A = this chain, B = another copy of it.
Amino acid sequence: MRIRVINPNTSASMTATIEASAKAAAAPGTIIEAVTPTMGPASIEGHYDEALAVPGVLTEVARGVADGVDGFVLACFGDPGMDAARELAAGRPVIGIAQAAMHLAALAARGFAVVTTLSRTAGRAWDLARTYGFADRCREVLACEVPVLAVDSAEDMVADLAREALTHDGVEAIVLGCAGMAEMAARVSAKTGAPVIDGVGAGVGLVETMVRNGVRGSARGEYAAPLPKRYVGLLEPFTVS
Size class of the A contact interface (CB-based, 8 Å): 35 or more
Chain B neighbourhood of A232, CB < 8 A = 10, 38-40, 42
In the complex, the answer to whether A40 meets B107 with C-beta atoms within 8 Å is: no
- What's the number of copies of this chain in the assembled complex? 6
A122 to chain B, nearest CB (A): 7
Chain B neighbourhood of A172, CB < 8 A = 218, 221-222
A159 to chain B, nearest CB (A): 16
- The reply on A209 being an interface residue by CB < 8 A is yes
In the complex, the answer to whether B99 meets A213 with C-beta atoms within 8 Å is: no
Query: Whose C-beta in chain B lies nearest to the C-beta of A91?
Result: B195
Chain B neighbourhood of A25, CB < 8 A = 209, 212-213
A227 CB contact (under 8 Å) in B45, B213, B218 = B45
Chain B neighbourhood of A179, CB < 8 A = none
In the complex, the answer to whether A186 meets B210 with C-beta atoms within 8 Å is: no
User: In whole angstroms, what is the CA distance A52 to B28 when docked?
Assistant: 37
A56 to chain B, nearest CB (A): 7
Chain B neighbourhood of A140, CB < 8 A = 169
Chain B neighbourhood of A215, CB < 8 A = 104, 107-108, 173, 195-197, 202
A41 CB contact (under 8 Å) in B136, B202, B230 = B230
A5 to chain B, nearest CB (A): 14
Known: A41-B231, A83-B47, A206-B209. A217 touches B108 (CB 8 A): yes
Extra contacts besides A25-B212, A205-B209 (10): CB < 8 Å: A37-B233, A39-B232, A42-B229, A42-B230, A42-B231, A46-B227, A48-B240, A99-B107, A110-B222, A195-B216
The 5 A-B pairs at the shortest CB distance, nearest first, are namely A39-B233, A205-B209, A133-B133, A27-B27, A47-B83
**17 contacting pairs across A/B (C-beta < 8 A):** A40-B233, A42-B230, A46-B224, A51-B84, A54-B54, A83-B123, A93-B108, A103-B106, A107-B215, A108-B218, A123-B222, A127-B131, A186-B214, A195-B215, A205-B208, A205-B210, A208-B208
